[in-house]
Structure 1
């Protein structure tokens, strides 16, 4: 009998090797306006088969190629390295736009952008030039950061051992979103001194095994499964001391959270749009209303208004967080970084709440027929519930309250 693991390994091995070897140079986006326009065009394309991809758990091979070739994966690269250096408000709009069409695609790229900031902050000049150039040519970063089974999310057991001209990594990762579809997999491992480093491991490196064993009920096509590392050798020039980003005031943590928040806002956008479309075209008026159309129902109208208002508020705070992040990048003082972290945490609370609210209201306002499996509208709720679990907003409320009441700054890490 074939095991589930063997099936998943076969699934991973069925990806054509030339999937990673396309020589087409990615489009070079040159402005914030162009980035948003490209994202809107891609979102229209991605939305067509989003429900089917989710239903079939189909790997988005063609979509991810088109996505990175669009140039969007390189828009935060500083202008001095050839990128557009867009504002974080623009990046947020791009993430929301893509996530509203297919939140799995929105999530696949989130760690890529977060790691680009670590390269800017922690890598040597030569490393920056090399990896930024790789991204501008269309190469993708996956991630192998988190592990399962440890005491906390920050307790890592994957080890990096430095030798004369290389390092060796051993360990096991999970929640490795997009790793199977990436050209480079940044693996976070701890040294003998307990300091985390990121080793950028090329796809198909000996000893590296990526398993598509993500079985979550939401975000189904993010390929957020396992990465196994058995004596993986990594050139020292591919290793970045990412612990430095949290030993001084930087926006690294806020940026990681900001992108998470933007994905959730995008999920809310998609759910609201789906609700409005379904109510307009399919929902029947309630028997006691005496109305001709469901769109005339005053309670439905009020509910749509409530969701729209809460979504606008969440996105407005997200924009404030983006502005604070831009300021913290330009002037990385303790005060500016604390402000960026604080407002980003506030946005995360609001985007989580509106994503879950919008996904719930989709069914409440659309009616029983909207739950039919062939429509797959439940993907919006499944995606919202799954992605918002990344870090608990109950702790965000505590951290924000502690800041205002007791002047205690938020912790400096990627989850606050």
Structure 2
């Protein structure tokens, strides 16, 4: 296949309104039960199933392989709309879309086509990369090993977001025989995989971000993928999902505060109008929240453009252009993170200034917007991202494409 032939089969974008119209009725159904799921901590198994059956997990798959051929900015625009319905769902699907993106970047061939067929059939991925406890930074305890003529996976992962809903899990592991870092694509429907919904965070409670345990879980040889081949802009991609989630949270906060103000009958004697909806100060608060939500969404979609360029450059045969696009993807996703986190945290806190003390009622669950935003914003520490951007701006230092977390060697001294 020539570069031109391969390029013509890439996911370069589609009619966004036509694409989004397929899913908006599902997003509306998802939104209807969001507050109740929040109050009861009910995992959205049914809602994930709706999305799978509608082909949501295949929107990035090229059209010629049965997908929608959406660009990355279009994917993240869709995730903003989904997050406005329930912010837990984009995060639960984060690992899925990252694995899809990796396969989109894989060389053309039979194995890639097999994955495309699975995505189009509705099969989804979860994520299991993080190890907690006594693991030093840079170490990987989870091992994939040859045993009795096959490969098996053993280890324990936390923060395995979305895995409890998924058909497969994208597991970061180490080969026991060579010591090489790999991705093991593991089917969940087997005795060697056990999952727990033990995520105890105060926000994003129904993302399925608990523990996954692997005990001689079978992995097919072709599904042990060398980590060095992973798509270059993966860290930017993961962060862009968080940006879309945050933007959707702000949009949901705007929608709910406007609705509650419009229907409010009680007023304060210190107010400025006979109804809250006519009070110019209350209008100002809601207007500022609206502007913050608008800016967050605009930044999130704009920040995805370099990642799309990096994807296209992967097949363009110009290494310099590909490197430049990957740098831009890292820097712009980090710039967006620093700004969006502040915008959305302010919006989700300020909404209470437009309402009375009754807005603190657990029945309304308006606090979920701030809790969810605060939880998402804790991923990938802002201070380090701001420093990386500053180092690039001042010194031209290339940003890191992969980073890890783990125990410090200094802690044992």
Deviation at 1:233, TM superposition (A): 2.3
Structure 1: distance between partners of 2:220 and 2:305: 37
Residue matched to 2:305: 323
Q: Is the 8 A contact 1:156 1:189 kept in 2?
A: yes
Residue matched to 2:10: none
Q: Is the aligned partner of 1:119 residue 2:103?
A: yes
- Residue by residue, what CA displacement relative to the aligned partner does 1:11-70 show, whole Å, maximum 9, x if unpaired? xxxxxxxxxxxxxxxxxx975333311232222111111100111111212211111111
**Aligned with 2:275 (options 275, 285, 293):** 293
| Higher mean displacement: 283-292 or 336-345 | 283-292
Q: Is the 8 A contact 1:77 1:85 kept in 2?
A: yes
Q: Is the aligned partner of 1:409 residue 2:398?
A: yes
User: How do residues 126-275 of structure 1 correspond to structure 2 at under 5 angstroms?
Assistant: 126-149=110-133, 155-162=139-146, 165-192=149-176, 193-245=178-230, 250-275=232-257
Structure 2: distance between partners of 1:148 and 1:123: 34
Give 3-state SS (helix, strand or coil) of 1:83's partner: coil
Structure 2: distance between partners of 1:240 and 1:221: 29
Give 3-state SS (helix, strand or coil) of 2:69's partner: coil
Q: Is the 8 A contact 1:118 1:242 kept in 2?
A: no
TM-score (norm 2): 0.87
Q: Is the 8 A contact 1:265 1:354 kept in 2?
A: no
Structure 2: distance between partners of 1:155 and 1:270: 40
Q: Is the aligned partner of 1:368 residue 2:357?
A: yes
TM-score (norm 1): 0.86
Q: Decide whether aligned partners of structure 1 residues 253 and 230 sit closer, same or farther in structure 2, where only a CA change above 3 A counts.
A: same
Structure 1: distance between partners of 2:137 and 2:253: 30
Deviation at 1:366, TM superposition (A): 1.5
Deviation at 1:300, TM superposition (A): 2.3
Q: Is the aligned partner of 1:356 residue 2:350?
A: no
Q: Is the 8 A contact 1:165 1:236 kept in 2?
A: no
Give 3-state SS (helix, strand or coil) of 1:240's partner: strand
- Residue by residue, what CA displacement relative to the aligned partner does 1:95-121 show, whole Å, maximum 9, x if unpaired? 011111111112111111011112233
| Higher mean displacement: 159-168 or 335-344 | 159-168
Q: Is the 8 A contact 1:157 1:190 kept in 2?
A: yes
**Aligned with 2:366 (options 358, 377, 381):** 377
Q: Is the aligned partner of 1:87 residue 2:71?
A: yes
- Residue by residue, what CA displacement relative to the aligned partner does 1:310-358 show, whole Å, maximum 9, x if unpaired? 3322322222222211111111421111111111111122221222112
Structure 2: distance between partners of 1:42 and 1:350: 30
Q: Decide whether aligned partners of structure 1 residues 384 and 34 sit closer, same or farther in structure 2, where only a CA change above 3 A counts.
A: same
| Higher mean displacement: 76-85 or 152-161 | 152-161
Structure 1: distance between partners of 2:223 and 2:135: 29
User: How do residues 88-103 of structure 1 correspond to structure 2 at under 5 angstroms?
Assistant: 88-103=72-87
What number of residue pairs does the alignment pair up? 385
Deviation at 1:229, TM superposition (A): 1.0
Provide structure 1 residue ranges, at least 5 long, that are not aligned to the other structure: 1-28
Structure 2: distance between partners of 1:349 and 1:60: 29
Residue matched to 2:384: 395
CA RMSD of aligned residues (A): 2.3
| Higher mean displacement: 404-413 or 45-54 | 404-413
| Higher mean displacement: 67-76 or 393-402 | 393-402
Deviation at 1:173, TM superposition (A): 0.4
Give 3-state SS (helix, strand or coil) of 1:143's partner: strand
Q: Decide whether aligned partners of structure 1 residues 281 and 90 sit closer, same or farther in structure 2, where only a CA change above 3 A counts.
A: same
Deviation at 1:379, TM superposition (A): 1.5
- Residue by residue, what CA displacement relative to the aligned partner does 1:187-229 show, whole Å, maximum 9, x if unpaired? 1102255432111111222321111212222111111110011
Give 3-state SS (helix, strand or coil) of 2:182's partner: strand
Deviation at 1:151, TM superposition (A): 6.0
Structure 2: distance between partners of 1:234 and 1:100: 36
| Higher mean displacement: 217-226 or 314-323 | 314-323
Structure 1: distance between partners of 2:187 and 2:16: 30
Residue matched to 2:324: 335
